[in-house]
Amino acid sequence: MKTYKYLVVNGCSQTWGEGCRVDKTWPVKLAEQLGLELINLATPGSGWEKVKTSTTSFIFNNKDILNECFFILQQSTLDRLIDYEHLPMYRTDVWERYNMKYLQLHDFCVMGVNNYEKFGYTRSDITRDENQRPTFLYDRNLIWNYGEDWSKLICLPEHRHYPNCRHKWRLGDDNIYPPYIDDQFEEFMAIRGMGMLSFHTFLKQIEVDHIMVDGYSPHLSYKLKFTHYYDTDDEFEFANRFWSTDINDSFEEKLYDFKNIKAGWMFDSIDIKYKIDDVVLWSLYQFKDHHTDWNIDGGHAGPNGMELITDVLQKNLEKKGWF
């Protein structure tokens, strides 16, 4: 076992410590309990790409101390810092023989579809430039007319914990669900799974010790097989119902069956020693009273909530043999 000197953490506001005294945040408290010097790379509003790139930069510039570092990487919400033009969101039959239903916007614009009516697309008027190339290769906004305005799909849907105005993902003035959104969600989770698995593999290859944990959404914990880390049985039961696909008067948002996502095998391929897959940190304190030391604003832990997170992380680090 290595002798660590530094605890390096990265994530979003959950790890940065939004609204909580610095000395009460879980990174500070966990570092103290482990007897390590804290290096906190987290910033509010960060998504996985930010976590991955800033962690990579730290590794590249601090190779001389990597053997003394242990990393905790917190996965954030599904929607953050994603360029949706780079996601396969547009249905096509061009690559159907390869079992690829979607193309990125650029590929979709260039390749088009074989059967324009199959998914409800119609061709716009096409003119040619001086090189006899169709102008729709360059003017993406004028390529297709579809039954709904895709440009209003600002981001993919979250679970019911993010149904607020900052994350609009329904379409049009009638606020309808986008067609094929379930398939698109699965495609997106596959991209997220690949990103986490590939980064985990990279860290293992260069012998950087680390563990990954879900902060706000079930990724590693997509099977929803949660451990009873809660103060009461009622809280544990509520957490399980919250992340399930059940809908009742309190939970009217459309939900997604995380347990059946096609990307599951990617999350499963991350070694169990390097992940915490039985909890979403946010839900540890979410069901406590808001605007208290448990939960300061509905989305961030207060001092008591930070104690819960610290305890869960320490138990997992010891259980998995890291400390």
Q: Choose between 233 and 164: higher pLDDT.
A: 233
pLDDT value, residue 189? 84
> What is the C-alpha radius of gyration for the chain, rounded to an integer number of angstroms?
22
Q: Choose between 190 and 108: higher pLDDT.
A: 190
Distance CA 22, CA 203 (A): 28
> Would you say residue 175 has pLDDT above 80?
no
Q: Choose between 90 and 285: higher pLDDT.
A: 285
> Would you say residue 228 has pLDDT above 70?
yes
> Would you say residue 89 has pLDDT above 90?
no
Q: What is the mean pLDDT of residues 259-265?
A: 81
pLDDT value, residue 165? 45
DSSP symbol at 295: B
The whole-chain average pLDDT of the chain stands at 81
Distance CA 289, CA 299 (A): 12
Other Cβ atoms less than 10 A from the Cβ of 278: the count is: 18
- The domains of the chain, with CATH numbers, are 6-81+187-319 (3.40.50.1110), 84-179 (no CATH)
pLDDT value, residue 87? 72
Distance CA 108, CA 102 (A): 8
Distance CA 267, CA 225 (A): 14
Provide the pLDDT confidence category of residue 304 given band limits of 50, 70 and 90: very high
Give the 3-state secondary structure of 156-225. CCCCCCCCCHHHCCCECCCCECCCCHHHHHHHHHHHHHHHHHHHHHHHHHCCCCEEEEECCCCCCCCCCC
DSSP symbol at 256: -
Q: What is the mean pLDDT of residues 63-85?
A: 86
Residues whose CB falls within 8 Å of the CB of residue 235, separated by 6 or more in sequence, listed in order: 287, 288
Query: How many residues in total does the chain contain?
Result: 323
How far is C-alpha 165 from the chain's CA centre? Answer: 19
> Would you say residue 313 has pLDDT above 70?
yes
Provide the pLDDT confidence category of residue 46 given band limits of 50, 70 and 90: confident
CB 275 within 8 A of CB 219: no
| Through-space distance between the first and last CA atoms of the chain, rounded to whole angstroms | 9
Provide the pLDDT confidence category of residue 183 given band limits of 50, 70 and 90: confident
Q: Choose between 226 and 121: higher pLDDT.
A: 226
CB 20 within 8 A of CB 28: no
CB 267 within 8 A of CB 222: yes
Q: What is the pTM of this model?
A: 0.83
Mapping DSSP to helix (H, G, I), strand (E, B) and coil, where does residue 94 land?
Answer: coil
Lowest-confidence pick of 42-51, 136-145, 196-205:
136-145
